[in-house]
Amino acid sequence: MSPRVSILIAARNNGRYLDETLQSAFAQTHGCEVIYADDASRDESLDVARRREDRGLIVLPEFVQRGVCATRNRAARVATGEYFVFLDGDDRLPRDFIAKHLAAMTPGTPFVYGPARAFGDGRHAHSFWSAPEWSEYDRWECNTVNTSAMYARWAYTAAGGWSDRVPTMWDWDLALRAARFGTPRVSTAILDYRQHDGSWSARLHEKDSSRGRFLAQVRRANARLSVCSILSGRLPGLLSEWLDAVALSARRIPTSEPKSLVLLDNSRDSEFRAAVERELARHAETFDVRRVIAYPHSFIWQTETQRRDRVAEFLATAYRTLAEAMPGDVHWFVEDDVFVPLDAGMLLWDSLTDGLHPPHAISGCYRNRHSPGRYVGGWWRGDRPDEPHAIPRDKPDLIPVDFTGTGCLMCWPSRTPPWTDSHLCHIPAHDWAWSAHLLARRGKLYFHPHVRCEHAVTEAKRLPG
């Protein structure tokens, strides 16, 4: 049986173009239910729409302006299709648009999306916007999903429908939420995207002036945080205080999305493991998901060089295991002897999600317990590892670096390399090897001089940030 598709047109004051839009919906090679939801238009839009009622058009008038998201959701509540395609009142669909979207749809796919080409008036009338595969572009940096993606009804419902919490970024906001329920697929269907003086896209100078702020808002509204650490059991007396510091800092991160905590227990101590489980139970309100992974790996060495090599190899494997186990879109690595200040999570989060082109990773800084005079936060190529670092006090919030550690590191896992190598050339340093891979991808790596952590030397002594 042919799947039922609903084309949902939401518009306000598009009477000049609406008939062409409606005609393109009814001309599809795959027959569709067509619904027009009006958002309190003050032009001839309703009259234009009602002339199509004899073709089966369902017209939903509204006499109080609700906004485009509420209007689209109102149309969806009336729709009977198992797939939804939303269409703006000034755009149009090629005849095979729905058929091509359906050809790309598979069971379990939340939505399919395709490219768009501009037509109409203005300097952008001949533009073309491609649609790369979901896994092949940085979905947290920019959006390539247009309004007329085809959503499976179940995915649209599970995602909560359209939201106007971030102005102009409705398509990206919905796509990020719906993508949590499966991998979106690319279609060859091309949307005809009209350019005219009254369209939002024609006023690009207005859009670009606030675009960075809106992009940051979408990231902060949709990204989920996972905090992780490797627990060695070497400082068991600090476990409760360390976890309190992490939880309190995580709670201050301004997101309504669930947070998770994943710990690798390398202590091989059943009493310590039980203590960890008890401590996690105290933080159920902060972390929706709390998981401890038993990781009783051990190794043998005879020389100091062998010991450093084995430690680096262990850490590379352990961090890869952590990264694969964490469900979050943002990963925050905090070593079990690093005490983060109350504002650490918020400062790192705000910087990591900010701007037109957000950083890939940001580290806090702390005094190194092996070399108390040196700060750990970042290094530059050519640094001597035994030279101390002074934290600049007259620098901006973020300082670009070539290498960083994992003491207090926040990153986008989808935008950064996996944890694979344990050495950078001959140096046993899993974190420097990871940084080198990020640099090779032209990634942006920073440390935040205002995120100053304490570093525990023993259970009785800590080095201030």
Using pLDDT thresholds of 50, 70 and 90, give the confidence band for residue 241: very high
Which CATH topology does 223-463 take? Answer: Spore Coat Polysaccharide Biosynthesis Protein SpsA; Chain A (3.90.550)
Average pLDDT over residues 144-170: 96
The percentage of residues in the chain with a pLDDT greater than 70, rounded to a whole number, is 92
Judge if 5-220 and 223-463 fold alike in CATH terms. Answer: yes
**In the chain, domain spans:** 5-220, 223-463
Q: How far apart are CA 254 and CA 346, in angstroms?
A: 7
Residue 65 sits at φ, ψ, to 5 deg, of -65, 125
Per-residue model confidence (pLDDT) at position 42: 96
Q: Where are the beta strands (DSSP E) in 286-354?
A: 289-294, 330-334, 338-339
Q: How far apart are CA 224 and CA 260, in angstroms?
A: 8
Strands 423-424 and 330-334 come out as: unpaired
Q: How far is CA 422 from the centre of its chain?
A: 27
Tokens 């009254």 label which residue?
A: 198
Statement: residue 259 has pLDDT above 50: yes
Question: pLDDT tens across 74-108, in order?
Answer: 999 999 999 999 999 999 999 999 999 999 999 99
Per-residue model confidence (pLDDT) at position 14: 95
Q: The tokens of 391 are what?
A: 């934290």
- What average pLDDT does the structure give for the chain? 91
Q: Which residues, in sequence order, are bridge partners of residue 84?
A: 6, 151
Average pLDDT over residues 5-9: 98
Contacts of 354 (CB under 8 A, 6+ apart): 212, 216
pTM: 0.92
In order of 222, 242, 257, 322, 390, the CA distances from 225 in angstroms are: 10, 18, 8, 13, 30
CATH of domain 5-220: 3.90.550.10
Average pLDDT over residues 443-451: 93
Q: How far apart are CA 10 and CA 99, in angstroms?
A: 21
Statement: residue 384 has pLDDT above 60: no
Question: pLDDT tens across 311-361, in order?
Answer: 999 999 999 999 999 999 999 999 999 999 999 999 999 999 999 999 999
Decide which of 209 and 260 is more confident: 260
Using pLDDT thresholds of 50, 70 and 90, give the confidence band for residue 456: confident
Q: The tokens of 162 are what?
A: 């359209």
Q: How far is CA 205 from the centre of its chain?
A: 26
C-alpha torsion angle, residues 67, 71, 72, 77 (rounded to 10): 150
Q: How far apart are CA 418 and CA 322, in angstroms?
A: 11
Q: How far apart are CA 176 and CA 431, in angstroms?
A: 29
Tokens 């996972």 label which residue?
A: 226
Q: How far apart are CA 166 and CA 223, in angstroms?
A: 14
Question: pLDDT tens across 11-64, in order?
Answer: 999 999 999 999 999 999 999 999 999 999 999 999 999 999 999 999 999 999
| CB distance 35 to 78 below 8 Å | yes
